[in-house]
Amino acid sequence: ASYDGQEESDESMWMVAVDCMFLLLFFGELVVVLLASLGASSQVLKEWRVHGLDIFVVIIGVTEISFTLCGFRVDFFRFFRLLKLARVGRLARILRHVALFRKLRLMISALAHSGMDLFWASTLLLSISFCFSILFVHIITLHVSVADPADETVEELRAFFSSIPRAVLTCVMCVTGGVSWWEVIRPFIEISWFLALVFVLFVFIMVVAALNVVTGIFVTDAMNKAGTDRDMATALRTARKQALRVELLTLFKDIDVNDSGSICLEEFAAMMERDDLQALLSNVGIEVANPEGYFKALDVDGSGDISFEEFIIGCTTLAGQSTQIDMMLAHSELK
């Protein structure tokens, strides 16, 4: 039946044909993917888990069409058509390889790994609110027991602090924007300035200290855990290598003043007199203290000239190892 209670008309043959066509394409894609995954024995189990839902949807689709062609109408299978929407989630596996969505995937990964951090952060904040709530409820209970029942302040206090759970909820709402804490502190001022100062202290502890500390730890830990994602780490390493290659290409062109396609010792030594070129080397993690020694380290074939390939490979290898290389060169000169 349709959503308005009217009986649906029988499906026409062209709709069945379209269903068969899409099911055939879906089945063909699934077979090709599964056959391709069998070639990599280390990923067979992973691929079978990933495509388990696809296999189930194909089986349900074949069964439904078989019943339809045989003249049987089984509405039960229509509910399983909603499972086809889950295939939209497979787009996420494609988008993770697109650099444009790298930041989005990093955020999603950080949220996915923040479950325990969220639990402990909530536990800490609720514990602080609970401790102050006990104090507030105790003092308010003593005041209400001797106050005039017709006092408007009593009704306001009962609305926020009639029980410890409600008091905890009130404290949490005050620091999260659910309620203006002026509405809560106003009856406190009528009772005691000490109670009002305690409430202000609670707000300062939660907003200035607890929330800021928890937020910093929460964000840092979530980002660190998201950084352990292998695909994300691989993409970041690839991006760093590409950026390093671009910087080294610019540096090579600046050092090769005669555009010969190679760097001689004189050109490499002249680099030390230019602060801009030294700054470029520092950006890639190379500090040249001994130009002649570094030139020999980069000149792998000993031809007396450094080609572009030697420069790129050498600088990539020596990046971040300047101190160690300087010590090795100094030790060699002492010998």
- Residue range 104-140, pLDDT digits in tens: 777 777 777 778 888 888 899 999 999 999 999 998 8
Alpha helices in the chain (DSSP H): 13-38, 44-50, 52-69, 91-95, 102-112, 115-146, 152-161, 164-176, 181-191, 193-204, 211-227, 230-255, 265-270, 275-283, 291-298, 308-318, 322-334
Provide the residue ranges of all domains of the chain, joining segments of one domain with +: 13-95, 115-226, 234-334
CATH 1.10.287: does it fit domain 115-226? Answer: yes
**Residue whose structure tokens are 């602060």:** 275
**Amino acid at residue number 66:** S
pTM here?
A: 0.49
Distance CA 161, CA 157 (A): 6
CATH of segment(s) 234-334: 1.10.238.10
Question: Phi, psi (5° rounding) for residue 4?
Answer: -95, 10
Closest-CA residue to 277 (of 292, 302, 257): 257
Distance CA 335, CA 303 (A): 25
User: DSSP 3-state assignment of 306?
Assistant: strand
Same fold, 115-226 and 234-334: no
Q: How far is CA 272 from CA 57, 151, 306, in A?
A: 66, 84, 16
Q: How do residues 177-218 score in pLDDT, each as one tens digit?
A: 888 888 888 888 888 888 889 999 999 998 888 888 888 887
Distance CA 151, CA 40 (A): 78
Q: Looking at residue 83, what is its pLDDT?
A: 60
Distance CA 294, CA 241 (A): 21
Show the low-confidence residues of the chain (pLDDT under 70): 1-12, 37-51, 53, 71-102, 225-233, 235-236, 272, 277, 283-285, 287-290, 318-335
User: DSSP 3-state assignment of 160?
Assistant: helix
